[in-house]
Amino acid sequence: PAYHASSGGRTENSENYWTTAMPYLRSVDDPYARESRYGRTEAAYSKAQVSERTGAALPASTDQPLVRVVSRFPSGRVEQVLVGDKLLTGRELRERLGLRSNWFDVREEGDRVLFDIYGYGHGIGMSQYGANGMAVAGYRFDQILTHYYTGVEIVAWYE
């Protein structure tokens, strides 16, 4: 089963990061992951670094942003982002910059591109920090597993 460090507050549908829709890997609310150390983190890059790592040309005018989110999945994660003249997926930008997640907000200040990042990992399946938070709150293992892996049934194979 798929798992990741922290969802940032909501997990992701499998087909929004990978190529296949899996019926048990559906997006679910994950409130205990919001409070984890990776619930929200920050990263900063110079515009030159972003341009170099993405192969995108810097805008001709300083009035134009270098990075602009074009669309998001219902979970909040970035589906598509325009970097200069290049249209990338949120996953591609995450991988090229080394961001913790493809769920981010972006802003620019001078020559810097600043990212507010939610979660750590692809966001599919069980969140380790979220599952731990559920356990600390008193949820049983079967409740935790069926929360993250929707539609599954826990059965005993032996007695």
To the nearest 10°, report the CA torsion of 32, 36, 40, 42: -170
User: What is the per-residue pLDDT across 2-47, written as a single tens digit (0 to 9) for each?
Assistant: 999 999 999 999 999 999 999 999 999 999 998 889 999 999 999 9
Look at residue 133 and give its three-state secondary structure.
helix
Check whether 90 has a pLDDT greater than 80.
Answer: yes
**Confidence at 75, pLDDT banded by 50, 70, 90:** very high
- Rounded Cα distance between 10 and 125, Å, is 10
pLDDT of residue 125: 98
Which of 153, 151, 152, 99 shows the shortest CA–CA distance to 123? 99
Query: Is the whole-model pTM more than 0.85?
Result: yes
